[in-house]
Amino acid sequence: MEKNNGIYLVDKPQGWTSYQVVRHFQQHLSKNMRIGHTGTLDPMATGLLILLTGPCTKLQKTFQEMPKTYTGKILLGVETNTGDMDGTVLRRSQIPDISRIQLKETLNKFNKTLEVYPPDFSAVKYKGKPLYFYARKGIPIQKRLRKMTVYRWDLLEFSPPRFSFELDCGSGTYVRTLAELLGKDLGCGAVVEELRRTSIGPYRIEDAQAITSIKWPTLSPSEPLMASTAATRS
């Protein structure tokens, strides 16, 4: 095993919440050891989730501010209350006759810093509770605008009504919000159909472990953690 200094790179499976991954780790590590993740992934999303344990939890903000890369698929002509296919379908629309070049040009329009409201179904806190708490109960609240920066939004494949993409973005970027903005721009609506986070700063999904393959150490809170993944990658 290779020393990982309190950093675990996990390939989050679909259907798990980020909190469930943390709870899973807590069952295998010392009860007195602090543990937290560095950026929420939606249950439908897969990919890189970085967990910090022990003294490394003090670095949580540093990790959260690192740029991220995603790949995924967006479905045109559909709108849901969550911005992805896990939500309730609100409407379906005919998609415009758009070429690959036109779609690529539309994606390029979003390569900038945007001010947007976070999704109703998100982990952003309002008065100590996540927004999804209020959304599920139908309680209206006053959300604040948040900045998110898109560095690159590349079109990979386009087979109407869906397309695959790769996205480089800053912290605090909601891909579901980008899909909704794109759908509004095209006049037909759009939702995230698949999403996978492939990097956070210098950390890569290739160095992550599936939850089922992690070899759990038996350590006291004062001992360094070990893992069979590389902690960094240049």
Report the top-level CATH class of 68-199.
alpha beta
| Catalytic sites, residue numbers | 42
Using 50, 70 and 90 to split pLDDT, how confident is the model at 123? low
The mean pLDDT value for 163-186 works out to: 95
Better-scored residue on pLDDT, 223 or 56: 56
Common-topology check for domains 2-65+201-227 and 68-199: yes
Rg of the chain, C-alpha, whole Å = 19
**What is the CB neighbour count within 10 angstroms for residue 182?**
23
pLDDT at 212: 80
Average pLDDT of the chain? Answer: 84
Over residues 204-226, the mean pLDDT reads: 63
The residue to which tokens 């700063």 are assigned? 201
Identify which of 14-18, 44-48, 171-175 has the greatest average pLDDT: 44-48
pLDDT in tens, 15-35: 998 989 988 888 877 777 888
- Provide the percentage of residues in the chain whose pLDDT is more than 70: 80
Residue 53: how many other CB atoms lie within 10 Å: 25
Q: What is the DSSP string of the chain?
A: -EE-TTEEEEEEPTT--HHHHHHHHHTTS-TT--EEESS---TT-EEEEEEEEGGGGGGHHHHHTS-EEEEEEEEETEEESSSBTTS-EEEE-PPP---HHHHHHHHHTT-SEEEEPPPSSS--EETTEEHHHHHHHT----PPPEEEEEEEEEEEEEETTEEEEEEEE-TT--HHHHHHHHHHHHTS-EEEEEEEEEEETTEEGGG-EEGGG-------TTSPPEESS-S---
Would you state the CATH architecture of domain 2-65+201-227? 2-Layer Sandwich (3.30)
Query: Per-residue pLDDT for 127 more than 90?
Result: no
Instruction: Evaluate if residue 54 carries a pLDDT over 60.
Output: yes
Residue 220 pLDDT greater than 70, yes or no = no
Q: Where are the domains of the chain?
A: 2-65+201-227, 68-199
pLDDT at residue 137, as a whole number: 64
pTM value is: 0.83
- Whole-number pLDDT of residue 200: 96
Report, as an integer, the average pLDDT of 34-41. Answer: 87
- pLDDT of 223 reads 35
